[in-house]
Amino acid sequence: MNQGARGRVRPARHTSYFDLLEELARPGCAICRLAKRTTFRYLDMLSYENVNDPGVRATLRGSRGFCNYHAWQFSDEADDGLGTAIIYRDIILNVGRLLPDGSGPAVSLRRSLAEFGSGPSSPGRALAKHLAPRGECLACHQLDLLTRVYVSTLIEHLDDPQLSIALSRSSGLCLPHLRQALARAEEPEQVEFLTRVMGEAYARASHADGDAAMALPLLVGAPGVTLALPPAPDGFVRGEAEALITPGDGCPVCRGAIAAADTRSRELASAKDEAVGALCNNHAARYLDLGLDSDGMIWGQLLAGLGERLLGTPRPAASPRGPYVAALAALGGQPVPRPGADLAKELAPSVACPACLAQQEAEQAITALVSQEEHGALCLSHFALGLLLPTDPRTLRSLATLQASAYEGIVASLSEFIRKRDYRFTHEPPGEEADSPERAVALVAGARGLSSVGVLPGAPRPVAGRRPARSGARG
């Protein structure tokens, strides 16, 4: 093993080191690309090896499948439809079995809600807690694990000449991953190197012909890689919510919430408002998809300001470190001091994503309206949100009946889809069940593009998901 700075023993070069070295030579944040690539591989492996694994299925039932982003990634990129159909049929069936009488989705929902009242301790609120995820998305858990590995690898090898040169010549890390790296840095020299190199990288990118597609991902990270939870919204007025209810397939709340977030993004673009810099990575990517601020001027200015701030950061004071400091800190129950921790906190967003706030406000306002009238079945999260709203038992029964009917229909379609994938029946032409896996994902995880921005009011926050059991081939 080689000697690094201050005589520190440099760790061995493992696969993650060479992965980083390779990706740093390509445009964009290397850690974003590596995290997304390895998460895709995880989903792909799950699709072909773990769909029928009892441990994995139990975990997926508890987490209500994947988060919105990874549910659609699994459906679109990693699966041929069969795995999606098997997983989401199991989840929809299990939603009913978790209810008090355990009679299955349709009967159980109707019976459980037959005598519902309203108020903070109503059965509606209790059922909403049953419907809430009891664990985190498996793909998010894997993403977090892999991100930590690559950030740790970067810090451990930062004094390695080959990697430090590659980082200096790279497009730079995105701001979310730079903050993680600063928080992990163990020496003031590492913090100084990161701030200088990233400041120079951001300055270069800010002058790249106003290219928003280059500047924006450096500010917020790649879609689906980092998420922020905004505070509770203030709420929409009734007239605004009514305008967002539009005809179409799927959950009406999802449609309206996405429209509200898009409207807010358009307002920011029209006003050339620097608040666009507070957009989360999912809504920032949507901002580009909508063709807003195509010249990238605002993003370039924000990136230039960030680069100047990093280059002007004073060198952090030397702090005592080493095995004895770490041992004393551990004995005292105190975290080991890290020289870049304060800077990482200072670089964190100071305000919530404006599009996320608009989405949340719309979700609550529209759910209150559609719960009173029949506008179609809701996705699982918005159905649970509807159960939390104060309303009369008759409205709750109507909402439950509509939802139960949707569950009956999608379970039948998924069963037919699975049956036709059996080699004995592959000669049969596809019918209305052909798109049932996508409809099931939308019914559980929400419409494509809905940002997973928070936890339902009154529902328990997800806990760390347990590692799935060993794989078993899909039958």
- For residue 106, give the H/E element and its range: helix 105-113
Give pLDDT tens digits along the chain (475 positions): 344 445 555 677 888 999 999 999 998 899 999 988 989 999 999 998 888 899 999 999 989 999 999 999 999 988 789 999 999 999 999 886 654 444 444 445 555 554 444 444 466 777 777 788 888 899 999 999 999 999 999 999 998 999 999 999 998 999 999 999 999 998 889 999 999 999 999 988 887 655 666 778 888 888 877 655 444 445 544 455 555 566 667 898 999 999 999 999 999 888 877 788 888 888 888 888 888 866 567 778 888 888 999 988 876 665 555 544 555 455 555 566 678 888 888 888 888 888 988 888 888 888 888 766 667 788 998 888 888 877 677 777 777 778 888 888 999 999 999 999 998 998 999 999 999 999 999 999 999 888 764 434 333 333 333 333 333 334 3
In a domain, 84, yes or no: no
In a domain, 459, yes or no: no
Cα(264)–Cα(321) distance, integer angstroms: 47
Q: What is the pTM of this model?
A: 0.82
Cα(259)–Cα(251) distance, integer angstroms: 13
Could you give the 3-state DSSP secondary structure of residue 9? strand
In a domain, 198, yes or no: yes
Which pair of structure tokens corresponds to residue 71?
């549910």
In a domain, 439, yes or no: no
Cα(438)–Cα(85) distance, integer angstroms: 9
Which pair of structure tokens corresponds to residue 249?
């397939």
391 — alpha (psi -120 to 50), left (phi > 0) or beta? beta
In a domain, 185, yes or no: yes
Vertex 22: Cα angle to 16 and 23 (nearest 5): 90
In a domain, 322, yes or no: yes
Tokens 């370039």 sit on residue: 300
In a domain, 326, yes or no: yes
Domain of 258 in residue numbering reads as 157-354
User: Which of 10, 15, 66, 61 minimizes the C-alpha distance to 38?
Assistant: 15
User: Which of 378, 387, 384, 388 minimizes the C-alpha distance to 442?
Assistant: 378
Number of domains in the chain: 1
Cα 255 from chain centre: 19
Cα(152)–Cα(181) distance, integer angstroms: 8
In a domain, 186, yes or no: yes
Q: Are 374 and 301 in contact (CB under 8 A)?
A: no
Q: Are 142 and 413 in contact (CB under 8 A)?
A: no
